[in-house]
């Protein structure tokens, strides 16, 4: 599984990345997490807000730090 966290590096974006890593550690699932900070790349995903979380190319949430339950649901499905 491939997870991308999009965000230029504000407090919320850092929080989102931390949350995703936390969930991975707790569930023991194997997935790569990549933080995307480049604006051009962020724009190419078609999101209007950061932080955004993308799981296997699918945009899961934009413009907010997701809830923990949601992250668990995305990656255990």
Partner 1 sequence: MKNRSNIRLVRKNESALMLNFFMGAAGVVLWWMIYRQLPELSKWLTYGLLQIGKGSHLGESIEFFLYDTPKVMMLLFLVVFGVGVIRSFFTPEKTRAFLSGKSEFAGNIFAALLGIITPFCSCSAVPLFIGFVTAGVPLGVTFSFLIAAPMVNEIAVGLLYGLLGWKVAALYMGTGLFIAIAAGWVIGRLKLENHIEDWVTQANMAAAEMEEEKLTWNDRFIYGWDAVKEIIGRVWIYVILGIAVGAGIHGFVPEGMMASIMGKGTWWSVPLSVVIGVPMYSNAAGIIPVVEALLGKGASLGSVLAFMMSVIALSLPEMVILRKVLKPRLIAVFVCVVACGILFVGYLFNMVLYDGSDILFSNITTLYNKLLGLLSSF
Residues 6+ apart with CB under 8 A from 33: 3, 4, 5, 17, 20, 21, 24
The one catalytic residue among 3, 5, 6, 13: 13
- Give the nearest distance from C-beta 30 to partner 1 in angstroms: 26
3-state secondary structure of 25: helix
φ and ψ of 7, to 5 deg: 175, 140
- Give the nearest distance from C-beta 6 to partner 1 in angstroms: 8
Contacts to partner 1 by CB under 8 A = 7-13, 39-40, 42-50, 52, 59-63
Q: Specify whether 13 is catalytic.
A: yes
- Give the nearest distance from C-beta 10 to partner 1 in angstroms: 4
* Residues recognised as catalytic: 10, 13
């Amino acid at each position: 599984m491939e997870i991308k966290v999009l965000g230029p590096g504000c407090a919320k974006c850092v929080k989102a990345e931390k949350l995703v890593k936390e969930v991975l550690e707790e569930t023991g699932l194997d997935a790569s997490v990549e933080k995307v900070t480049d604006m051009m790349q962020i724009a190419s995903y078609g999101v209007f807000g950061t932080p955004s979380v993308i799981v296997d190319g699918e945009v899961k949430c934009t413009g907010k730090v997701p809830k923990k339950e949601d992250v668990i649901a995305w990656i255990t499905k």
